Chain A
Amino acid sequence: MRIPDACLLLEGTFPYVRGGVSGWVHRLIDLHPHLQFSIFFLGADRRAAAKRLYDMPDNVAEFREAFLFERPSADELRPAPLDPGTASELAEGLESVYFAADGEARILAAFAFSDWLRTRGKSVRFGNLLHERASWDVLRKAYALWFPTVSFIDFFWTCRIIHAPLWQMLRALPEVPHAAVYHSISTGYAGTIGALASRREGAPYILSEHGIYTKERMIEITQADWIHEPQGHGILAGPTRLALKNLWIGMFAFLGKLTYESANPIISLYSGNSRLQEEFGARAERVTIIPNGILPARFDAARKARSSQPQPSACRIGFLGRIVPIKDIKTLLRAARMLADALPDARVSLHGPTNEDQEYFEECLEMVEDLDLREAVSFHGSGRIEEILVGVDVLVLTSISEALPLVILEAFACGIPVVATDVGACRELLNGRTPEDKALGRGGILTGISSPSQTADALVRLARDHELRTTMGAAGFLRVMQFYNEKHVMSKYGALYKSLQGKGPAPWQA
């Protein structure tokens, strides 16, 4: 068997979890039938991975998995007898990671520790980390250095709980399949094990992130009330809670930094995320963008149907998406009120699931009543996108947060102009990113977040100006065809694998 061309490192996604990233992974593999893939899946525990939700494509040569939050084996939990030399090496290894002078030294120390552990095999176990005096001394030192006044029992247990998945990850390293190129789809545990595996193999390492993992974990931890309560005794007091959250966040930030230092190129979907990656430690010269794409051919029929339509008497504004707070439907409704004041015949139709946040949906319905928009605004539930877009003259998006909204690409594929808030990738989708992209012209109008008047102004402008709608729609169409064709963007990965094949991992110093 030949060595697979690329090993994908996946954390909590394909093939067990449904979602955008999983679908993307599936298409990446599908669109490169001539390449052989291996997959290493990292999950929390086996229960969440009972059933594969995606078929495994034929060109996946090897699929392996590890579950980081599962209880280690009884053997692993029992401390192995350590000779004094090994015990002090363990202590030194831990100290060099935790008390490293700077982030870079810490990463190198982590690599050294991982190498050391690999040579020791099963003669050093998680039980040693849990029960050895060496690790206790390091823990006390860390406590004295970082949080000398917080609840010790909670610090102690948080440290233990943080280390269990890390240890499992290090233990899983030998399981990572061989490959010519390593490619992880996130930082975190998958990114770290990818970095370690690529070092082990002397193979190049690619990172591509959809969301920014480190930031997502930060938000999750900051908002969580879960911070572990070891024996169910009482609620954590403020400072302790904050300290322990910082411990978790610091750990994920470190894994992110380690991944960024090891990977080249570091890919994101749009420039906003590239900036975030740089903020979390990615070197600017390694950062690059490969956006998501769609298959424009799917919308050919819709586009033709639209162009053969007679010019509508009144403008039809469409919203496609979930009716949830992040999409800020309420701003859209306020804008609709202003729009109706200016153009009483204009109609706004919202398409998308309403059951995800029932309370919010009901508030929206009340708002429609209060603003007297029963005539102008209608909710339609989900439907087939190609069919819905036939009856849309302008697509509107008032989200307060987005990544790279595919719905804009889909509208463009039908030649529909877009009014969207300036979030995520919207600016580069509407105005273009690179000079040649910008030269294609604007595909719509950008508006400010939570600004009903800006949205209404843009909508009125487009509704009144059929010419402008056609021009912007055409620019958008060209943009999708040239820069966001899925076949085209995905093939960049194939090219990347080919060009990196046989090269070593990213050099350490830039």
Chain B
Amino acid sequence: MAGIGFRLQKILRRQTYTAILQAYFYAAVISSGPLVLSIAALSAIGLAMAVFHSPEMPLFFSSVTFIYSTSMILTGSIQLVMVRCAADADYAGHREQVWPLLSRFMAVAVPAQAAFAGWFFFFCTGASDVFKVSCVFLSVQVGMMWMLSGLLTAMKSYKLVVGSFAAGYAASGTLAWLFFRYFGPDWLMAGFAAGHALLVVLLLACIRRETPDGGCDGKPMTFCSAMSSYRMVALCGLAYNIGIWADKFLFWWFGDGRVQVSGLLYAMPLHDQAVYLGFLSIIPGMAIFLLKFETEFSSHYALFFQDVLGKAPLERLEERRLGMVESLRREVLQLVKFQGSFTLVLVVLADRIMPALGLGALQTGVFQIVLIGSFLLVLFLTFLTVLFYLDERRSALACCLVFAGTNIAVTGASIYFGEQWYGVGYVAAAMAGLAISSRLAEGHLEDLLFVTFSSQPMYPELSGEEACSPE
């Protein structure tokens, strides 16, 4: 993520107003990544549902939601590991390894995704065959989409990512509508999936353009070796995505007011709408986080390492460490002020916004709770990123597990206690994640010098055996 922040700062240095807007836009899109993209897409579909009152829409919406959420959970961990390996290869000057790496990961992820989606839609739902096949097809496209966009992000091709998504989603919407109009409701999903196929093709083309052809120097990691050497990262991705989606699934399956759409596909249409909209409020906070916080914190981090390698005396390293702590405090404060006031405004205005979107009082309450949860989530992500920066994978995993566990437990309890408590699980999870991640991050920053030096293996070629780093 550091690379992205730095690149954005360069864009900012152009210092024209449009350039700044552009930069914020990229930041918003990339930093919130797949999550924001998918939620935005779902919100858009949800709003479209309000416009096209068609009986097929709930099935379509639930299916897309299910595909997006499960594919994030399934490929989330794999994607993180692959991006990390690709970034390592890129850093080592072996960009040509990216393509073989990608194909190895896809060879595992695509069949897994297809098998899961095939099993679910054919055995657990009751839609038409065209629709089911299209769902499996979309699952595969979405799974690839996460991996490819993550990879391109790691290669700092932000424009290409954003451009591809814009084109892909435009095509998806248009094709879905056209297929619906000309082939009938069963083909709605087919059109939507076809648009995603275009998106995947575009992303693949971008990666092809960004990676050199020809023979591969050195050996790219195999899927298994990559997963085992980055198992903590993989588990983080899994736990985090489960944490994000756990409350939604629990509501669909156990909440009051749930609607069975088809087989195991459930929905809480109005509640879902409020949740997605509330979640989207993280976009400005994420943009700030990436642009200001990340770049500032990473600059200090870079200075620290420059001085470590630049043979500075300990006193100066200590100053640099304090600089990091200071910048973190400053930026968190800035984030609290900015995202806090944004959230506050939305909470206050919720009474006016929600009815305008056709949502009622109960949804307004959910929206307000989710707004608060999203505010906490941005802060949680901030500290989680610090932990990743410091390569404290064990701590990062602990935070993600607490996040997921709290969400499951408290959401479960909220369902038991009744509708007025809905949404508390998400808030509690973000709060617990924030509490533990901020403590751990501060602790590790306190210990930075010790860890930086004393965890170094004495004999580098033995780093695997000399188990002093978490993995």
User: From residue 299 to 313 of chain B, which have CB atoms closer than 8 A to chain A?
Assistant: 308-313
Nearest to A160 among chain B residues (CB) is: B458
Cβ contact within 8 Å between B311 and A77: no
Nearest to B465 among chain A residues (CB) is: A74
Cβ contact within 8 Å between A77 and B458: yes
Instruction: Name A240's contact: one of B311, B317, B465, B466 (CB within 8 Å).
Output: B311
Cβ contact within 8 Å between B312 and A136: no
For A79, A152, A233, the residue with the greatest tally of chain B CB atoms inside 10 Å of its CB is A152
Cβ contact within 8 Å between A164 and B313: no
Q: Bound state CA distance, A355 and B336, in angstroms? A: 78
Cβ contact within 8 Å between B458 and A164: yes
Q: Bound state CA distance, A149 and B310, in angstroms? A: 13
Interface size class of chain B, counting residues whose CB lies under 8 Å from the partner chain: 20 to 34
Nearest to B469 among chain A residues (CB) is: A131
Cβ contact within 8 Å between A131 and B459: no
Q: Bound state CA distance, A154 and B317, in angstroms? A: 13
For B310, B317, B458, B465, the residue with the greatest tally of chain A CB atoms inside 10 Å of its CB is B458
Instruction: Name B313's contact: one of A77, A148, A231 (CB within 8 Å).
Output: A148
Instruction: Name A153's contact: one of B309, B457, B458, B468 (CB within 8 Å).
Output: B309
List residues of chain B with CB within 8 A of the CB of A153. 308-309, 311, 453
B348 within 8 A of A: no
Q: Bound state CA distance, A189 and B459, in angstroms? A: 22
List residues of chain B with CB within 8 A of the CB of A126. 458
List residues of chain A with CB within 8 A of the CB of B465. 74, 77-78
Q: Bound state CA distance, A234 and B311, in angstroms? A: 9
Q: Bound state CA distance, A136 and B468, in angstroms? A: 14
Instruction: Name A156's contact: one of B312, B453, B459 (CB within 8 Å).
Output: B453
A127 within 8 A of B: yes
Instruction: Name A151's contact: one of B312, B459, B462 (CB within 8 Å).
Output: B312
A236 within 8 A of B: yes
Cβ contact within 8 Å between B454 and A131: yes
Nearest to B311 among chain A residues (CB) is: A151
Cβ contact within 8 Å between A237 and B450: no
Cβ contact within 8 Å between A152 and B466: no
List residues of chain B with CB within 8 A of the CB of A140. 314
Instruction: Name B468's contact: one of A79, A135, A149, A237 (CB within 8 Å).
Output: A79
List residues of chain A with CB within 8 A of the CB of B468. 78-79, 127, 130-131
Instruction: Report the minimum CB–CB distance from A227 to chain B (whole Å).
Output: 13
Nearest to B315 among chain A residues (CB) is: A148
List residues of chain B with CB within 8 A of the CB of A133. 450, 454
Q: Bound state CA distance, A144 and B311, in angstroms? A: 16
B455 within 8 A of A: yes
> Residue-by-residue, is A229-272 near B (CB-CB < 8 Å gives 1, otherwise 0)?
00101101100100000000000000000000000000000000
Cβ contact within 8 Å between B315 and A236: no
Cβ contact within 8 Å between A231 and B314: no
Interface size class of chain A, counting residues whose CB lies under 8 Å from the partner chain: 20 to 34
Instruction: Report the minimum CB–CB distance from A43 to chain B (whole Å).
Output: 19
A143 within 8 A of B: yes
A71 within 8 A of B: yes
Q: Bound state CA distance, A6 and B165, in angstroms? A: 82
Instruction: Report the minimum CB–CB distance from B264 to chain A (whole Å).
Output: 47
Cβ contact within 8 Å between A74 and B462: yes
List residues of chain A with CB within 8 A of the CB of B308. 152-153
B467 within 8 A of A: yes
Q: Bound state CA distance, A154 and B311, in angstroms? A: 7
Cβ contact within 8 Å between B458 and A130: yes
Tell whether A152 pairs with B457 under 8 Å between CB atoms, given A127-B466, A133-B450: no
Instruction: Report the minimum CB–CB distance from B341 to chain A (whole Å).
Output: 42
Q: Bound state CA distance, A164 and B462, in angstroms? A: 15
Instruction: Name B312's contact: one of A152, A160, A231 (CB within 8 Å).
Output: A152
User: From residue 266 to 301 of chain B, which have CB atoms closer than 8 A to chain A?
Assistant: none
Instruction: Name B450's contact: one of A78, A79, A136, A234 (CB within 8 Å).
Output: A136
Cβ contact within 8 Å between B313 and A71: no
Instruction: Report the minimum CB–CB distance from B394 to chain A (whole Å).
Output: 15
A150 within 8 A of B: yes
> Residue-by-residue, is A71-108 near B (CB-CB < 8 Å gives 1, otherwise 0)?
10010011100000000000000000000000000000
Cβ contact within 8 Å between A71 and B314: no
Q: Bound state CA distance, A130 and B453, in angstroms? A: 9
Tell whether A78 pairs with B315 under 8 Å between CB atoms, given A131-B454, A160-B458, A231-B309: no
26 A–B contact pairs at CB < 8 A?
Answer: A77-B462, A77-B465, A78-B466, A78-B467, A78-B468, A127-B466, A130-B454, A130-B458, A131-B454, A132-B454, A136-B453, A140-B314, A143-B314, A144-B314, A148-B315, A149-B315, A152-B308, A152-B312, A152-B313, A152-B314, A152-B453, A153-B309, A154-B311, A233-B310, A233-B311, A234-B310
Closest 8 CB pairs of A and B: A151-B311, A74-B465, A152-B314, A77-B466, A136-B454, A131-B468, A149-B313, A136-B450
Interface residues of A (CB under 8 A from B): 71, 74, 77-79, 126-127, 130-133, 135-136, 140, 143-144, 148-154, 156, 160, 164, 231, 233-234, 236-237, 240
16 new A-B pairs (CB below 8 Å) besides A74-B465, A151-B313, A152-B313?
Answer: A77-B462, A78-B468, A130-B454, A131-B454, A133-B454, A136-B453, A136-B454, A140-B314, A148-B313, A152-B317, A153-B308, A153-B453, A154-B311, A233-B309, A233-B310, A240-B311
